[in-house]
Amino acid sequence: MRADDLVPLGRTGLRVSRLGLGLASLGGLFAPVPEEQAAATLDRAWQLGVRLYDTAPVYGYGRSETRTGMALATRPRDTYVLCTKVGRIIEPGGTDTQPIWADPPPGVGPRLDYSYAGVLRCVEESLERLGLDRVDVLHVHDPDAAAFLRAAAVPGPDCVLLAGRYTLLDQSGLDELLPLCAERGVAVMAAGVYQSGLLADPRPGAPHGYGKVPAELAEKVRALRAVCAEFGVPPLAAAVQFPFGHPAVTSVVVGARSPQEVTDSVAYLNLPVPAGFWAAVKARGLLPDGTPTPPA
């Protein structure tokens, strides 16, 4: 498997790269990203064959969409798949603010709105920020788990973005959603596989969103990193490859805030993993026995 392999996105008729670029970081997730660096990051992804891009209005309160549109404006429109989200409108006085965005545009904030009129407005405003004539995939941003299952259980949804629920540290998506998606032909994009960098840098206070890493989680990370060291597998390579063990997963979407981080993620996905690695992870009790894992 290679990061630039193009595969069908379920029944949509679209083709996507195995690796997708999540664009929250370029909107200023946890720390600001200069505009030139954001453009260079998107350019590097393109150079390495990434053809799936995922943004949202709430990412930097519109900043991510604006930067994404500028970077993709010169690319042939039929050669990539662009996703954005509905459910939050960015407007003056919006109160659904989040402290995770560094230096957001002043005077505006998100407002939750899943209504029909709200969705239409959300799409129109996203297209204005992007400067493009269409998006290919619209995700509903942050639906609750019950809504996720209801949507997947009836004809209609073509794909879902599953963030942080099918990773080396959290396999809760395996309980109901992933089997249902496989049964219904719903393509899954797995996101949040790096746990915001926790697998790479588990130190307390590192930029992974945990002020203090819970003791049980810290021990699991330590044990996973030990198995990785034994087999010579970078922890982030194991993280980005793990979701592909499940047949419903079409692509893995990772964030990046620099060209080097894109380069690293592509290398991690392309890296051969030694035979016996996944069996060893299960033998240490770090994955349930029945968890599907990628072939060696």
The position carrying tokens 């592909």 is: 244
Q: How many CB atoms lie within 10 A of CB 132?
A: 17
| Interatomic CA distance for residues 186 and 182, integer angstroms | 6
Helix%, strand%, coil% for the chain, nearest 5: 40, 20, 45
| Interatomic CA distance for residues 238 and 287, integer angstroms | 12
**Helix or strand holding residue 107 (H, E):** none
Sign of CA pseudo-dihedral 171, 176, 178, 182: positive
Q: Is-contact 241 272, C-beta < 8 A?
A: no
Any catalytic annotation for residue 59?
yes
| Interatomic CA distance for residues 34 and 219, integer angstroms | 35
Among the listed residues 53, 59, 80, 194, the single catalytic one is: 59
Q: What is the 3-state secondary structure (H, E, C) of 135-200?
A: CCEEEECCCCHHHHHHHHCCCCCCEEEEECCCCCCCCHHHCCHHHHHHHHCCEEEEECCCHHHCCC
Query: Which amino acid, residue 165?
Result: R
Which residues are catalytically annotated? 59
